[in-house]
């Protein structure tokens, strides 16, 4: 929900604040009972999130993103095509500018898909037509393959190969990782779901660190200025459910206070 409004600028800061501090679990997903969830395509459906996205992603927002795209600015959102097992990077400005009949619906679907954790909530099915044949792709959270992405590592080398000259401009990279990078101790109950859940959390955290190291290596290779922000170990608030409004407000206030003082961007990944 944050990306389009951060892209459009500070006049939408109130939207970001509202989304980040006032929604709760019921605004994001509707839980199924355990048996129904196991028999379905997710333990919850994302109908509430679809309605939330539709509330904020309006035709006016789509037009604003299209105007920025025509200026040369690019908004990208990542999902995972689960059937193909591949990461997909969507050019949201191109979609917004397309004037295609289903552009707004597709834009909204991609946003929902990009946060649909497989198994936890239902995937998003996206209609595709190829050579006159219609089928659907199953898209889920882009974090299945990459927690954070920048641009393909060989981009500037390909630019040089295609044009015969290097890119003559300064490059500044700002990476915001919505998570902690230091391991945190947690007592794990000897129960299947607890053990599996903790293992997945550790896997996601490690994957995020690896993604940051890859981005940093690309920035070093391309001579780009690297800047990183993440949740520090000094933020010790706990929460017992996802999208806990009180926790999200404390996290937002924590980040806001850091930025108000002039955020000390990290110039390298930890370690």
Dump pLDDT digits (tens) for 197-214.
Answer: 788 888 888 888 999 999
Q: Would you state the pLDDT for residue 39? A: 66
User: 55 exposed, middle or buried (CB, 10 Å; 0-12, 13-18, 19+)?
Assistant: exposed
Sequence spans of domains, the chain: 2-144, 155-260
The share of the chain scoring above pLDDT 90, in percent, equals 53
Q: Residue 52 and residue 108: Cα distance in Å, rounded? A: 10
More confident position, 225 or 183: 225
Residue 90: pLDDT over 90: yes
Q: Would you state the pLDDT for residue 156? A: 87
Total-model pTM:
0.86
User: 10 exposed, middle or buried (CB, 10 Å; 0-12, 13-18, 19+)?
Assistant: exposed
Dump pLDDT digits (tens) for 6-59.
Answer: 999 999 999 999 888 888 778 887 777 777 767 677 778 888 889 999 999 999
């Amino acid at each position: 929900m944050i990306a389009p409004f951060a892209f459009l600028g500070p006049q939408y800061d109130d939207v970001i604040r509202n989304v980040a501090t006032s929604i709760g679990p019921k605004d994001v997903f509707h839980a199924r009972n355990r048996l129904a969830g196991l028999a379905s395509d997710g333990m919850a459906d994302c109908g509430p999130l679809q309605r939330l996205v539709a509330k904020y992603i309006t035709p006016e927002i789509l037009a604003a993103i299209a105007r920025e795209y025509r200026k040369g600015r690019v908004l990208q959102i990542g999902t995972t095509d689960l059937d193909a097992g591949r990461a997909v990077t969507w050019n949201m400005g191109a979609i917004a500018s397309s004037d295609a009949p289903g552009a707004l619906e597709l834009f909204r679907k991609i946003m929902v898909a990009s946060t649909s954790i497989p198994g936890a909530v239902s995937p998003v099915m996206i209609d595709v037509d190829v050579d006159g044949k219609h089928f659907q792709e199953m898209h889920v959270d882009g974090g299945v393959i990459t927690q954070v992405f920048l641009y393909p590592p060989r981009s500037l080398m390909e630019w040089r190969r295609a044009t015969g000259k290097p890119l003559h401009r300064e490059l500044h990279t700002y990476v915001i990782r919505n998570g902690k990078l230091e391991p945190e101790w947690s007592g794990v109950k000897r129960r299947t779901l607890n053990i599996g859940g903790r293992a997945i959390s550790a896997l996601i955290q490690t994957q995020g660190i690896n993604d940051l190291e890859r981005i940093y290596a690309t920035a070093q290779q391309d001579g780009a200025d690297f800047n990183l922000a993440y949740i520090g170990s000094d933020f010790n608030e706990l929460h017992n459910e996802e999208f806990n409004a009180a926790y999200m407000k404390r996290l937002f206030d924590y980040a806001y206070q850091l930025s108000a003082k002039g955020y000390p961007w990290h110039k390298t990944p930890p370690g």
